[in-house]
Structure 1
Amino acid sequence: MKLYGYWRSSAAYRVRIALNLKQLSFDSVAVHLIKNGGEQHSENYKTLNPAQLVPTFVDEDVSVNQSLAIIEYLDEKYPEPAFLPKSLAAKAQVRAAALDIACDIHPLNNLRVLQYLTGPLALSEEQKLGWIKHWLNVGFTALEQRLALTSGQYCFADEVTLADICLIPQIYNAQRFSLDMTAYPNLNRIYHNCQQLAAFALAVPEQQADAQ
């Protein structure tokens, strides 16, 4: 198995956590999102993933993009430990929290969006940072309220789920941009608890071979 990614990509970070939780061996293939105009735009990588985004996961003759699709593939192929609860209602709640992060929070502070803000739209670095913090606060405020009803050690009681896999990389991003996290005690507690697990600690961006 190969995971094409970038050390600081939160989407690739999610997949690393999932692979570690399943205790699966994989080869990391670095795709540098900044160097040479962005290696994700190279002809070789565009052939593999026309969206020109990371991650891309390859398992023999199967190639999958989109982190949540990759994680679902892993969860179905290797059922233990499960990333989703068995109850239909609980499964939907976990998926909803994961999608709150992956679809509504993460895309607004993704690299290509930020590059467009400071490139064609000519925003200053200060304005860009204001954009990042605004949308993180909007998303985290709603998530904090949601998880106040469901969380224990982790997002949903005391079992790691897909929601935790998505949350921890997003909090890492918030820390990168010096977001004040004091208003989010539930998120902070979950983040601390997850970081005690080897699967999460080994997936941290600074632990990756291509970290710079």
Structure 2
Amino acid sequence: MSPIYRKISERSDGSESGVGSESNPYSDGENRLEIISETYEREAIHLIEIEKDFICQLELGVQLYSRPLKHYLISSNEHAKLFQNIEKILAISRYQLNRLQSLSERTIISHIGRIFHEKVQLICEAFTRYISGYAEACSQLKQLSKCASFQRFIQGNNSNLSIEQFLQIPLNHIDNLANQLDTLCCICENANDANYLLHVLKELRQCSLYNESSTSQHHCTTT
């Protein structure tokens, strides 16, 4: 259990926070800061869950589609067009998740913005590259789907995650990530980290807008 999760679980019954205790009363100002701090930590946990879910979905897609097709049925050029840099995005997200999970209850309020600020250029470059190639990936998938052996491979994967859904995951994640960091920025009490979050949000929103304008007319399909 990470330090953040442990602290929240300790506070779930109010026994550790002192709220409601006559022997340790809070002023209105102190109580407000306590509530904000706990809210921030819960939103930080939600951010971690978003990253975890994203990584789990990508790992499943890589296992089902990207890795098996790397040297099977399709050429290396077709593979590169179809899956692009999706495994690099996965590696970046794993790194970010490890950094987030290493934070303690004392550092969580002042380090999320900094952690993302350190890698925001790398993150945006990776997602922008993926977004730029998404239309071509959809076109490549449509062409490959005309091949009977490729269709059999796709249909043989008994999974709830289709290849179309797999290719869509990074596009959805950039919006989810920006929205959650926006939530954290609104309640961040650490001015320095709030500034980091604002810078990160500016970059991610630009990436998100590019995503919306570039992919709105393109939908991957095997039919």
- Scaled by the length of structure 2, what TM-score is found? 0.40
User: Which structure would you say has the larger Rg?
Assistant: 2
More helix by share: 2
When you count strand as a share of all residues, which structure comes out higher? Answer: 1
Q: TM-score, normalised by structure 1?
A: 0.42
* Greater relative CO, 1 or 2 (CA 8 Å, sep 6+): 2
